Amino acid sequence: MPTLAALVLPLKPRVTAVLLHPVAKPLLGATLMAPAGYLLWGALNDHLGANPAEALIRQSGEMTLRCLLLTLAVTPLREITGWAALARFRRLLGLLTFTWGLLHLLSYGWLDMGLEMSEILRDIIKRPFILVGSLTLLLMVPLAATSFNAAIKALGAARWKRLHQLVYAAGILAIVHFLWMRSGKNVLGAVFVYGAILVVLLAWRLRGRFTSAGAGFR
């Protein structure tokens, strides 16, 4: 039975040309940020239901999680398909994840809490799932701040890679945050889907480490 790599190999030249096209990155960024435009339009035109603030918080949170999972999926997809050009989208996806995370925080802090810092701090302490979400975004700050070539040169490739392994912890915390939030309403279908995707992506990462370690003993 042919492997996935063998099946996609004939497509590699065309796919690579598309991935390397100058408009590929702007198009990806516009596509993943388009929901923000829809949410803004919906908020201004009263199309987000009876509780617009909740809709904005929920949907911006899910977009953060989706972009985070896409970021984590880049390396496995690149290795499975052999489409090396996928790697050029990883940092962009990371920055989009952070952007959506900031929008999620802003939606909560502004629309739900009125930007009252004392109230926000009390709410974080009172509701642990918000604390977990805050820690998730906090982990993303150094990743976003060092998602540039100058940062790689300043830190060195090895230290930069170690730092950016925080993305795996951020992924786990994001799922915990989402699970905790949804468990109160007993709506867990999406949580299981996102959680399963994360487990597969982390398992792929661990598989690669064990394979590399085993190769060192042969």
- Greater model confidence, 112 or 103: 103
Mean pLDDT of 163-169: 92
Residue 85 contacts residue 19 (beta carbons within 8 Å): yes
What is the pTM for the complete model shown?
0.87
Residue 48 contacts residue 55 (beta carbons within 8 Å): yes
User: Within a domain: residue 216?
Assistant: no
DSSP per-residue letters across the chain: ---HHHHHGGGHHHHHHHHTSTTHHHHHHHHHHHHHHHHHHHHHTT-S-S-HHHHHHHHHHHHHHHHHHHHHHHHHHHHHH--GGGGGGHHHHHHHHHHHHHHHHHIIIIIITTT-HHHHHHHHHH-HHHHHHHHHHHHHHHHHHT-SHHHHHHH-HHHHHHHTTHHHHHHHHHHHHHHHHHHTTT--HHHHHHHHHHHHHHHHHHHHHHHHHHHHH-
- Which structural domain, as residue segments, surrounds residue 12? 4-209
pLDDT band at 212 (very low <50, low <70, confident <90, very high): low
Lowest average pLDDT, out of 91-100, 120-129, 196-205, goes to 120-129
User: Within a domain: residue 27?
Assistant: yes
User: Within a domain: residue 215?
Assistant: no
Lowest average pLDDT, out of 21-25, 74-78, 117-121, 165-169, goes to 117-121
pLDDT at 32 over 50: yes
User: Within a domain: residue 214?
Assistant: no
Give 44-62 pLDDT, tens digit per residue: 888 877 788 888 989 999 9
User: Within a domain: residue 73?
Assistant: yes
Instruction: For residue 178, count other CB atoms closer than 10 A to its CB.
Output: 24
Residues with Cβ within 8 Å of residue 23, at least 6 apart in sequence? none
Residue 88 contacts residue 21 (beta carbons within 8 Å): no
User: Within a domain: residue 218?
Assistant: no
pLDDT value, residue 26: 95
Count of domains for the chain = 1
Mean pLDDT of 115-144: 88
pLDDT band at 30 (very low <50, low <70, confident <90, very high): very high
pLDDT band at 216 (very low <50, low <70, confident <90, very high): very low
Mean pLDDT of 27-36: 95
- Greater model confidence, 166 or 115: 166
Give 75-95 pLDDT, tens digit per residue: 999 988 888 999 999 999 999
pLDDT value, residue 4: 58
pLDDT at 213 over 60: no
pLDDT band at 214 (very low <50, low <70, confident <90, very high): very low
